Amino acid sequence: MYPIMKRTVLLVLCLSLSAFFPPAARAQPPALSLATFQIDGTPPLGSPLSDGGVPPVVAIDDPLSIRGVILLPAGQQPVVLVAIDWVGVGNEGHDAWREAIADATGTTIDRVAVHALHQHDAPGCDFTAERIAVEHGLGGKLFDPEFARATIDRAATAAQVAMKNPRPVSHVGAGKAKVEKVASTRRCLGPDGKVMYVRWTTCTDPIIRDYPEGTIDPFAKAVSFWDGDQPVVVLTYYATHPQSHYGKGRVSADFPGLARTQREKALPEVPHIHFTGAGGNLGAGKYNDGSPENRTILADRLAAGMKAAWEATRRVPIADAVVRWDTRDVALPVAPHLNEESLLDTIKNKEARERDRLSSVRFLAWLRRCQAGHKITLGRLRIGDVDILHLPGELFVEYQLAAQKLRPDSFVCTAAYGDYAPGYIGLAQSYDEGGFETQPNASLVSPRVETVLMKGIAELME
């Protein structure tokens, strides 16, 4: 055979084979890959903590962190989940975080979920409120804006770098286990159905401590992503206020942060990202006398629950799972007590307590945001039979439990403390029961919020 004819035959043969084995079949990309990032989020000495509600930083007991996972489903834009060891991120602060991460990862802002863990010896971030504060001589009193912007920039850079080295995901895992003696209701109701006692984070009164545990979600949940037999990242969820003791200016990630550290030591080189669930009406008060040593006790109990959840993990091949991200934008109804003129009077009153002036700044920021038509994005990540809800504010646990009932055959997790601006979000009946969480200085939404939010959750969970 002549050389030219030989080359022609070989070419025809190669073309024929390629018809049976197209390139996509030979090098199929993974259905899901991911990358993780983490930076330090500890504020400098002298920085305000907890929106100016506690003394500023005098010491660092343990560092704060910013942790994120970038999910890269085949054929879709990235979905980014971020957990921050701060008290809360609200209004334009929440926007700024999401916009920066979205830009860094090449996705859209609606596909980025940012949640605070809500430790109180930690900073906040609300650029809408800061702008109002500056106008009235209160700039830098709520939080350190330069530190906040620098941290956002560093987190975005870390996310951008992480995108360069994604890991393929072969399996998703899910497991849950009870956490013993941590969460309890803060709202102890009397025979008349009204709040008789508020069981604060620290509770030393034996009568209040002996009150029943109440309605809680007792489970710690763990969602894990695997590359073969190697875990790549673990996401954990538990609903409660995350305070043991606070208010001395000593920065700490508190007992959830210490529990998270324990689990990372048990699983070296596997990042752990923890989210606080709908714990607005829950706390450790039944089991916490406020002593410093009790922080370690609570951390050990939560870590034990996380460990048991990990050990109960059931893995499913990612190829058998549908990966999907859905959102709903909702306009939460503003609390009727919010009045711009009254709030401005307090803000301008230099004889008023600075704490009251700063609270009024935050309330006015939310009011103006709502008046401008702002909506809050609810998110749902669906991976096989795992559902993860991303919700705003200091939600009551009943929202989390209701979501689970909507999908009884799914493994439902909830991350609350997304956009922190609306404050506590109770049920409609909660506003008639009294108690701290539904007072005008705590909840910035009206009782109609239950109808709006439950509807949005139900639509997401369809």
433, 194 Cβ separation under 8 angstroms = yes
Question: Over 70: is that where the pLDDT of 349 sits?
Answer: yes
Rg value, the chain, Cα: 24
Q: What count of other Cβ atoms lies within 10 Å of the Cβ of residue 323? A: 21
- Does residue 445 lie in a domain region? no
Question: Over 50: is that where the pLDDT of 1 sits?
Answer: no
State pLDDT tens for residues 317-337: 998 788 999 999 999 999 999
State pLDDT tens for residues 173-187: 999 999 999 999 999
| SS3 call for 67 | strand
User: Could you give the CA distance from residue 254 to residue 85 in angstroms, rounded to a whole number?
Assistant: 9
Number of domains in the chain: 1
The pLDDT of residue 7? 44
Mean pLDDT of 39-60: 97
- Does residue 141 lie in a domain region? yes
- pLDDT more than 90, % of the chain: 92
Count of all residues that appear for the chain in the document: 462
User: Could you give the CA distance from residue 110 to residue 80 in angstroms, rounded to a whole number?
Assistant: 10
> What is the chain's mean pLDDT, rounded?
94
Mean pLDDT of 268-278: 97
- pLDDT more than 70, % of the chain: 94
For the ranges 29-33, 186-190, 409-413, 426-430, the lowest mean pLDDT is seen at 29-33
Contacts of residue 199, Cβ cutoff 8 Å, sequence gap at least 6: 184, 185, 186, 187, 188, 208, 209, 211, 283, 285, 286
User: What are the residues facing 334 on neighbouring strands?
Assistant: 445
The pLDDT of residue 26? 42
- Does residue 232 lie in a domain region? no
96, 66 Cβ separation under 8 angstroms = no
User: Could you give the CA distance from residue 420 to residue 87 in angstroms, rounded to a whole number?
Assistant: 9
- Does residue 322 lie in a domain region? no
Mean pLDDT of 38-56: 97
The pLDDT of residue 321? 82
Contacts of residue 32, Cβ cutoff 8 Å, sequence gap at least 6: 71, 72, 73, 74, 168, 169, 225, 318, 323, 383
The pLDDT of residue 29? 76
Question: Side chain identity at 150, as an amino acid letter?
Answer: A
State pLDDT tens for residues 182-239: 999 999 999 999 999 999 999 999 999 999 999 999 999 999 999 999 999 999 999 9
State pLDDT tens for residues 241-263: 999 999 999 999 999 999 999 99
> In angstroms, how far is the first alpha carbon of the chain from the final one?
66
User: Could you give the CA distance from residue 40 to residue 269 in angstroms, rounded to a whole number?
Assistant: 17
| SS3 call for 300 | helix
Residue 421 tokens, joined:
């601006």
Domain that holds residue 147: 32-162
